Amino acid sequence: MHEYTKKELTGLITGKLRRNFGRDVDEATNLQMLKACALVIRDIMSERQMKTQDKVEQTHARQVHYLSLEFLMGRSLMKNAYNLGILEPLNEAIEGLGFSAPELFESEPDAGLGNGGLGRLAACYLDSMTTLDIPATGYSICYELGIFKQAIIGGQQVELADNWMGLGDAWLIPKIDETERVRFGGKVVTEWVDGRMKVDLLNYTSVMAVPHDMVIAGYGTEHTNVLRLWSAKSPNPIDMSLYSSGEYLKAVEQQAMAEVISKVLYPDDNHYEGKSLRLKQQYFFVSATVQSIVRKHRAQYGTLRNFHQKHVIQINDTHPTLVIPELMRILLDEEGYSWEEAWNIVTHTVAYTNHTILAEALERWPQQLVMDLLPRVWQIIVEISNRYQTELTTYFHGDISRVEKMAIIWGGNVHMANLCICACSAVNGVSALHSGILKREVFCDAYTRTPAKFKNVTNGIDHRRWLSSCNPKLDALIKECTGGDGYLLNPGLLADLAKYKDDGSVLHRLEEIKRDNKRSFAAYVARETGIQLNTDAMFDVQVKRLHEYKRQLLNVLHIIYEYQHLKHDPNFMIVPKVYLFGAKAAPGYYVAKEIIHLINSLAATINADPACKDKLQVVFLENYRVSLAEKLMPASELSEQISTAGKEASGTGNMKFMMNGAVTIGTLDGANVEMHEVLGDENIFLFGLKAHEVTELKNKGYQSYEYYMHNNDLRAVLDAMSHGFDDGISYEHLTKRLLFGDGCPPDEYLLLADFDSYRNAQKRAAEAYLDRKRWNQMSLMNVARSGIFAADRSIRDYARDIWHVPVRDVLQK
C-alpha cells in the first residue's frame, strides 16, 4: 500500500489548485483549498476503485447492493484521509501551505442526504462493508438539497434549504455514459408473439437517471466501494417551439417536473402531490439501480439466469420495495423468462431490513396512485398479490382476518412491508427486542408460516469515526491500555479496558479526558452561539429526531419539576446540570415543532433566572447534524435513551454515547436491552415500564388523568406547562394531548405512567455522579462493553446469515 508523504501531498494539492482553479497557493481561497484537497483524495481513491473493480470482475464475486433512500454521510475529507492512513501528512501539507487544517476540515458542509438514524446507519455500513473487503455498492438519490438546515427563530423551528453541493460535488464522479431511462405513466399494451406475451408501454413520460459516484475508502485496505447517487434530468431540456413563441416558463416545464424528483430529500406527504412525488422518488431510484445492475451483469455473463447467485439486494426499510416488481418486470418483459423462473431469481436476490413497528411508518400507497404512475409495475404487483393471497387463504384455512393482515393489496392500498415479506429471502429486525416484536406481534402470522426467513442483526456504528476519529484523547488512552491500535479492526479488544476498572490513574485520565472534551465543546458553543455552558455541571444530553415516542417531552417535564423545586429550595440540585437538546422535527409534524418551541421557552426562562445560575441550564442546539454530533458525543456524560419500551427499533445514538463513555439513562427499549445485558444493572440507569408491561397497561385501559390527579408534583408540572413561561406562550395543547388526547389516545406514549420512575432514575444518576470513582468506573465499563455495537460486527452478521459472502479476516485474538 503506497504511503503518501507531506511533500507528495503538497505537490498534488498545488497541482490541483493550478489546473482546476487557475490559482497559486497564495491566491487560493479556503473553498478552493478544500476542493483541491478533496480532489486529490478522490483521485487516490478512484485509482484504487479501478483495481477493486477489476478484481471483483475477475473473481466473479457475489456483490452486495445496498438500497436506501437515505445516506447521512456527514463530512468526508477528514474521514477519507483517516481511512487512507494519510491524515497526518495531509494535516502537515495543509499547514505547510499556510492554511489551518482544523479550520479547513470544519468548513466542509455535511452531506445531509438523510433524516437521522436510518441514513447514518447506511453510511456506517458502507464504511464497514468496504473495510471488510465486501464488494458492495450503495444506491440513493443525489438530492440537490439534503435535510433542511434548522434555524431557531423566536424559539421555533424554521426550515432553510441546505445546498450541500457547493463542495459536495468534489466527491462525486458523474458517469454520464451510464445514464438510465425511467418511465412513468403511459398505457400497457400486450400481444402474443411466437407463443409468448410481449408487453409494451406506450405514451409514457421519460426521466433520465444520471449516476454520480462517490468512492468509499475502507480502513487499512486498498479495497474501495461506491455510493451511486442518481440525479433526475429531463430528456428534453427545453421545448424550443414554446420558447420561440415567448412562453419561457412553459418551455422548461418538462425539465422542472423531471428534476424535482431529485431536488429535495423527502417531500412532505400530507397531501396528494407530496405522496405522488415520494412514490416517484422511490421508483426512480430503484428502477435506475436495477437497470444498471442488470446491464453490467448481462455484459459480463450474457444471461440473467445466474443473477441471484452473483447479486444480493438489501433494501433498507420499505422505501426501495419497488425493486421487487421492477426486477420482475425486466426478467418477464425484457428477458422473456417465465413467471416461475423470474420469481425464483427475485426471491433469492432481495432481502429486507425492517426499521420500525410504528403502524404509520409501515408504508402503504393508494392503489390508484400506483396504477396511474406505474401501470406495468401495478400489473405485476397485482399478480404477486393474487398468487400470495391464494397461498395464504389455503394456509390459514380461509381465515380472512389473518389473510388481511398479510395481504399486499387490501382496502385500496398497496402494503409495502407485506410485499417485502412475500418476496424477500430474509427479513431482519435491528435489535433483539425489535426482532422479537416483529415475530410475536407485527408479522406474527408471517413468522408462523416462514420462521426461517426471520433474522436479527442488531445495528452497529462506525467506531473508527465515532470513537477513534472524533475522540482522539480517548483513542490514545484505549491504545495504551489495549496494547496498540488493534481495536480499530477488532472492536472486541475494547473489552481489555475492563481490567483497569480499579486502576486509579486510568480512571483519573478518563475523567480528565471527559473534562477536556466538555471544555472543547463549550468553547465551540460559545463561538457559534455566544452561550456559555457550565462545564462544572453534568452534561445531560438528548439528541435525536423529534418524535413523540422518543419522549423529549418526558425530559422536559422532569426539568420543569427540577426548576419548580429549585425555586423553593436553593439546595435541591445535588448535582448542577446542563441539559442539552438537539432535534429536527419533520416540517409537517406540528406537535413535534411545538415541543421544540416549548424547550426553547423553558430554556429562556431557566437561563435568565438567577436562582438557576450554576445549578440548572437548558440549551437547544440548533441544526443538529453529523458534524455537531462528532463534537458532542465525546463531551456527553448522561445519555437520554427514554423512548416508550417497544417503540424504538434499535437506536444508534445510544451506542455512540456508550462508546464515548457516557452513562445511559433509559428504558428497556431497542438496543438498550442488549446494552443492559453486557453492562449489568450497575452500569446503566434503567427505568420505566417494559415492553410487555406497556401492552398490558394499554389493554387494561390506561387512564393518564389518574396520574395527574394523584401525583401533586406531576400536576404542578403539567399546570405550569399549560400556563407557559416568561414568553407568555401557553402549551395547554400539549397538556390536553397528554390528559385527554387529540385525535389520538391520551398520553399515547405513557409519559405520565413513567414519570415517577424516570424521576427516581435521575436521582440515582445524580447520586452516582457525586461519587467520582464510581462514575468513572461506570464510564470505563461503558466503553469496554461497547465493542459488540461496532458496525463491523453487524456487517459480519449480514455477510454470514443473509448475504452469504466472505469477509476479510482482520480479527486479532
Which residue among 137, 652, 664, 735 is the active-site one?
652
Q: Is the dihedral of CA 609, 610, 616, 622 positive or negative?
A: positive
Show the 3-state SS of 74-112: ECCHHHHHHHHCCHHHHHHHHHHCCCCHHHHHHCCCCEE
With CA atoms as reference, report the closest residue to 422 among 446, 394, 456.
446
402 within 8 A of 396, measured Cβ to Cβ: yes
In angstroms, what CA-CA distances link 69 with 117, 141, 226, 264? 12, 7, 15, 12
For residue 141, the surrounding DSSP H or E stretch is strand 136-141
CA atoms within 13 A on the CB side of 233: 14
Instruction: State the alpha helices, DSSP H only, in 633-711.
Output: 653-659, 672-679, 691-700, 704-710
Please tell me the distance from the alpha carbon of residue 616 to that of residue 625, in angstroms, as a whole number: 25
Active site residue 545: yes
791 within 8 A of 460, measured Cβ to Cβ: yes
Give the bridge partners for 137, in sequence order: 65, 226
Active site residue 544: yes
Active site residue 2: no
Which residue among 329, 545, 577, 759 is the active-site one?
545
The crossing angle, in degrees rounded to 10, of helices 712-723 and 751-770 is 100
Q: Is the dihedral of CA 353, 354, 355, 361 positive or negative?
A: positive
Find how far residue 679's CA is from the centre of its chain. Answer: 25
Active site residue 263: no
Pairing of strands 180-184, 205-217: antiparallel
In angstroms, what CA-CA distances link 170 with 165, 166, 229, 661? 8, 8, 14, 35
> Long-range contacts: 489-492, Cβ < 8 Å, 24+?
489/131, 489/219, 489/220, 489/792, 489/810, 489/811, 489/812, 490/810, 490/811, 490/812, 491/463, 491/786, 491/787, 491/788, 491/790, 491/792, 491/793, 492/787, 492/788, 492/811
Please tell me the distance from the alpha carbon of residue 601 to that of residue 727, in angstroms, as a whole number: 7
Which residue among 42, 544, 593, 737 is the active-site one?
544
Find how far residue 44's CA is from the centre of its chain. Answer: 28
CA atoms within 13 A on the CB side of 799: 23
Q: What is the secondary structure of 587-627 as a DSSP string?
A: TT-HHHHHHHHHHHHHHHHHHH-GGGTTTEEEEE-SS--HH
Which residue among 550, 551, 584, 759 is the active-site one?
550
Here the cell at position 295 is 446491464
Backbone dihedral angles phi then psi of residue 495, each to the nearest 5 degrees: -60, -25
Please tell me the distance from the alpha carbon of residue 120 to that of residue 629, in angstroms, as a whole number: 11
Pairing of strands 224-233, 205-217: antiparallel
Which residue among 280, 308, 551, 656 is the active-site one?
656
With CA atoms as reference, report the closest residue to 226 among 354, 348, 63.
63
With CA atoms as reference, report the closest residue to 370 among 252, 303, 275, 298.
275
Backbone dihedral angles phi then psi of residue 49, each to the nearest 5 degrees: -65, -40
Pairing of strands 538-543, 638-641: parallel
Output helix, strand, coil percentages for the chain, rounded to the nearest 5: 55, 15, 30
Active site residue 448: no
CA atoms within 13 A on the CB side of 229: 29
Active site residue 613: no
Which residue among 16, 355, 463, 785 is the active-site one?
355
Please tell me the distance from the alpha carbon of residue 184 to that of residue 279, in angstroms, as a whole number: 11
Q: Counting beta carbons within 10 angstroms of the beta carbon of residue 396, is it exposed (0 to 12), middle (13 to 18) or buried (19 or more)?
A: middle
With CA atoms as reference, report the closest residue to 289 among 316, 309, 264.
316
- Three-state secondary-structure class, residue 274: helix
- Catalytic residue numbers, as ranges: 355, 544-545, 550, 652, 656
